[in-house]
Amino acid sequence: MHANDSDLEPSSVIDVHDFGEAMFSAITSRHSVSPKALQAPGPSDEQLQRLIEVAACAPDHGLLRPWRFILFPEDKRPVLADLFEEALLERHSQATEEDRLRAREKAARAPLLLGVVVHIDKEDEKVAFEDQIASAGAALQNVLLQVHAFGFGARATSGRAVRTNAFRKALNLHEDEVFLCFLAIGTATRKAKTKERPDPKSLLTSWP
């Protein structure tokens, strides 16, 4: 669908049955790929813009736009590696050389590395904070699905470093902001591990 056609119903662009089946296949065939198995090439600048464009289509109670993305460019990864090491030492001052190296290595993974940040306003009287976090989750999933549709692999990872003072300070996070996760994106060097999904029957009940 062309960007200018966004006000058109999908059925007026492609057959509604095909659209439904294509969407079902896209969603059910997506599986996360370990950041260790993500190499260049990653998405182009144009594709990155589109990833943010699909994120912006997430449902968003009150149109708060309570989330944003941060790009960690490849030439700044050594700085991120320093930060991961610092974050590790904040949590474990006695970390071994091996632990430090392992923490540093994470910064080099995946050609495209994004961070997802949610601004959580617990004082908002109209929009519950759960709604705000759910909006970020929906934005994240939109990106994961578009990445998959572009033919790349990806995985969301949070980890403990993101909650350290060192990390929060280096990213200049507002006190109401939470670093939800990294999104590592690139060309998968091995097939994504498929996971068995729960039986839909176990996830749906009828009320009362």
| Residue set of the binding site for FMN | 30-32, 61
CB closer to ligand FMN, 31 vs 168: 31
Least distance in Å: CB of 195 to ligand FMN?
A: 5
What secondary structure letter does DSSP report for 161?
G
CB closer to ligand FMN, 154 vs 166: 154
Least distance in Å: CB of 62 to ligand FMN?
A: 22
Least distance in Å: CB of 7 to ligand FMN?
A: 31
**Residue stretches of the annotated binding site:** 30-32, 61
CB closer to ligand FMN, 81 vs 180: 180
Q: Which residues have a Cβ under 8 Å from the Cβ of 32 and sit 6 or more positions away? A: 144, 153, 154, 155, 156, 192, 193
CB closer to ligand FMN, 42 vs 182: 182
Instruction: With beta carbons less than 8 A apart as the criterion, state whether 181 and 157 touch.
Output: yes
Question: Shortest CA distance to 134 belongs to which of 157, 154, 118?
Answer: 118
Residues of the shown chain interacting with ligand FMN in the complex, contacts defined by CB under 6 A = 31-32, 155-159, 180-181, 195
Count of H helices and E strands in the chain? 6, 5
| 189/111 Cα distance (integer angstroms) | 12
